Amino acid sequence: MTTPDTQVEQDRAVMSRRNFLGFLGKGVACAGALVGAGGAVGAVVSERGNRAFQQNDEQYAEAVNNPPQVPDYNWNDHKWAIGVDTDRCIGCLRCMEACKTENSVQMDANHHRTWVERYVYLEGSNTAIVDSQSDPKNIENTGSETKFRFDNRYRNVKVDKAFFVPKLCNQCEHPSCVQVCPTGATFKAKDGPVLIDTTYCIGCQYCVQACPYGARSFNESRGTVDKCNWCYHRITKGLNPACVEVCPTGTRIFGDRNDPESPVSLFIRNNHVQVLKPEMGNAPNVFYKGTDKEVV
């Protein structure tokens, strides 16, 4: 069950994440920059067959011990939310790639901060067939867990209806993961995201059990839990989360609900939106348009 992520840790960065971030910082209004960088990094990955851009141990320790100071940011002023317009999603999975790159998520099929689900109703069927990039067939098709593609398995069958549903942490108003954390290492920030203090997490994984959305995973090499934080290091600097930034179709919409004219406020106001598993009582902050009953 363990994933000795030694490969990740041993890799001495060809293009370290630090440089990568520095590059971004210089780019300031970097709408296109990340897409370009993502492509470049993808090329590095496929050539070397390993994960050159992942944080190594020292970089990780540095990031944890000296978190960047963001002097102009007041978390009482914001209420972040994400909208997902599933009608727009084309399943290109650039969001997954960007997320794994941006956040040094383990590069295998069992650890994700975000993923995309494909729902397919075959002709005459009332239930959807669901898969994600982690499905063995998709990975066999590309030959690697680090190439993010859906295969074309429905090529020769009649499909009634099909759509993609991007998933990420819902940063719930009543997060059950925070409720069950025995140490308080995971907590809800005032501006919305649920964060983890990885220097305090004991790695009991109770929160992994408690999340109704399967959004949390366990990083075996660090002995602590990992989750999507809507790229908290980016949003506190006024940037979009990486997945939102790279989405070529505008499926993912990010913004501040305190601002009635922000993209997400407009999205929620102008569309019929719903949340996932409302019966859990978690009150998610990711709002979906265009999903149907089969979506889990």
146 contributes a contact to other proteins by CB under 8 A: yes
Residues whose CB falls within 8 Å of the CB of residue 105, separated by 6 or more in sequence, listed in order: 99, 111, 112, 113, 226
Binders of other proteins among residues 50 to 109 (CB under 8 A) are 50, 108-109
Q: Which of 25, 39, 184, 250 binds other proteins (CB under 8 A)?
A: 184
From 48, 69, 42, 50, select the one nearest 9 (Cα to Cα). Answer: 50
Q: From 60-68, 135-143, 154-162, 238-246, give the range in contact with other proteins by CB under 8 A.
A: 135-143
**Which single residue is written with the structure tokens 């069927």?**
125
Q: Which of 9, 35, 88, 131 binds other proteins (CB under 8 A)?
A: 131
Nearest distance from residue 136's CB to other proteins, in Å? 7
Give the number of other CB atoms < 10 A from CB of residue 241: 29
Q: Which residues pair with 131 in a beta bridge?
A: 118
168 contributes a contact to other proteins by CB under 8 A: no
**Which single residue is written with the structure tokens 């590095």?**
44
Binders of other proteins among residues 266 to 285 (CB under 8 A) are 280-281
228 contributes a contact to other proteins by CB under 8 A: no
Judge contact between 82 and 253, C-beta under 8 A: yes
From 176, 181, 187, select the one nearest 202 (Cα to Cα). Answer: 181
Nearest distance from residue 2's CB to other proteins, in Å? 6
Nearest distance from residue 204's CB to other proteins, in Å? 6
144 contributes a contact to other proteins by CB under 8 A: yes
- DSSP element (H, E) containing 102: helix 94-103
Distance CA 38, CA 95 (A): 10
Binders of other proteins among residues 198 to 217 (CB under 8 A) are 200-206, 208-217
Tell me which residues touch other proteins (CB under 8 A): 1-3, 7, 49-50, 108-112, 115, 117, 129-134, 136, 139-140, 143-146, 167, 176, 178-185, 200-206, 208-220, 222-225, 280-281, 296
